[in-house]
């Protein structure tokens, strides 16, 4: 029987030797979040918003990267719908599209309540306070802008939307007042999955179709901003 020499290796700062389990002789590992970079404009963020009276085919969210120094990577988009006091039989297709060649982003139309969540609200969505604590607003230029229509859809800007969506979910409800569509993931990036990478001038939009005028939708988006050199 051949014999082999053994080596051990140790960690960077604490000189700890990694352990190998007795059975099945597997090396212990811990899974860490991917490095997003050391500059203050990088980091991981999340926002939750709600829209009311979703119109048929309305674009309810526009999310664009206008910074050539970073990539923006939407990791998860979760939605839920609720009917109010008046029931309505509806069929809803919620779609996620890529937009490219953005010269001007989606803008508000007749909806005076349309909200641009950038930049003030963005600072509140960071996952670690230290990520952008010392950076002024003008340096935080990744997402330009994150717009949601609060009571109606957005108007398209100058950009090229893909012909077909990258995600489409069908949901239906009965005619019973108070019926809800449970939370569903419009996009969900699991560990090791391929990732949407928004280069400068690229973005995503979320559009919905509905026959009901009294629906409320909630939307949560998680994304990170990363240094392309780290990918």
Partner 1 sequence: MPIQLAGSTVANILEIETATKAARVTIKPIDYGALGVYSLAAATGLIAAGLATAAPIFSWRWGDATRFAALKKVLISAGNNGTAFTAGAITFNIFFARGFTASDSGGTSILPSGNGNKLRTSMGTTLLTDARISNTAALTAGTRTLDANPIGSLTSSIVATAGTPLIAPTPLFQAQAGDYPTVFAQNEGFVIQATVPATGTWTFSAQAQWEELTAYVP
Of 4, 24, 25, 28, the residue at the interface with partner 1 (CB under 8 A) is 28
Of 1, 2, 25, 170, the residue at the interface with partner 1 (CB under 8 A) is 170
The conformation of residue 177, written as its DSSP 8-state character, comes to T
Of 1, 2, 16, 136, the residue at the interface with partner 1 (CB under 8 A) is 16
Please identify which residue in the block is written with the tokens 């970079």: 37
4 touches partner 1 by CB under 8 A:
no
120 touches partner 1 by CB under 8 A:
no
Q: Which phi and psi angles does 183 have, rounded to 5°?
A: -55, 135
Q: Supply the minimum distance, in Å, between the C-beta of residue 67 and partner 1.
A: 14
Quickly list DSSP for 147-166: EE-SSSPEEP-S-EE-SS-S
35 touches partner 1 by CB under 8 A:
yes
Contact pattern from residue 134 through residue 163 relative to partner 1, giving x for each residue in contact according to CB under 8 A and a dash for the rest: --------------------------x-xx
Q: Which two tokens stand for residue 91?
A: 């069929």
Residues 195-224 within binding reach of partner 1 (CB under 8 A): 195-199, 201-202
Q: Where are the beta strands (DSSP E) in 36-89?
A: 43-52, 58-65, 71-83
Q: Tell me if residue 134 falls in helix, strand or coil.
A: coil
What is the rounded distance in angstroms from the CA atom of residue 89 to the CA atom of residue 179? 10
Q: Which residues bind partner 1 (CB under 8 A)?
A: 7-19, 27-35, 89-93, 95-96, 98, 100, 160, 162-175, 179, 182, 184-185, 190-199, 201-202
């Amino acid at each position: 029987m051949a014999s082999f020499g053994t080596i051990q290796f140790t960690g960077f700062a604490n000189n700890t030797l990694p352990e190998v389990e007795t059975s099945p002789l597997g090396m212990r590992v811990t899974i860490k979040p991917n490095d997003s970079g050391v500059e203050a404009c990088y980091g991981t963020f999340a926002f939750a918003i709600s829209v009311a009276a979703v119109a048929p085919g309305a674009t309810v969210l526009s999310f664009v990267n206008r910074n050539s120094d970073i990539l923006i990577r939407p990791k998860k988009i979760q939605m839920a719908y609720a009917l109010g006091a008046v029931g309505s039989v509806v069929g809803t297709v919620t779609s996620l599209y890529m937009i490219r060649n953005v010269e001007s982003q989606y803008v508000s139309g007749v909806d005076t309540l349309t909200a641009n969540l950038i930049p003030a609200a963005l600072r509140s969505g960071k996952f670690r306070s230290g990520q952008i604590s010392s950076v002024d607003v003008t340096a935080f230029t990744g997402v330009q802008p994150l717009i949601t229509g609060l009571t109606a859809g957005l108007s398209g800007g100058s950009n090229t939307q893909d012909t077909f969506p990258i995600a489409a979910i069908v949901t239906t409800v009965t005619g019973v007042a108070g019926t809800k569509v449970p939370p569903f993931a419009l996009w969900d990036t699991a560990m090791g999955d391929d990732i949407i990478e928004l280069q400068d001038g690229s973005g995503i939009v979320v559009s919905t179709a509905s026959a009901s005028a009294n629906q409320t939708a909630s939307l949560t988006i998680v994304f990170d901003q990363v240094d392309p050199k780290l990918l």
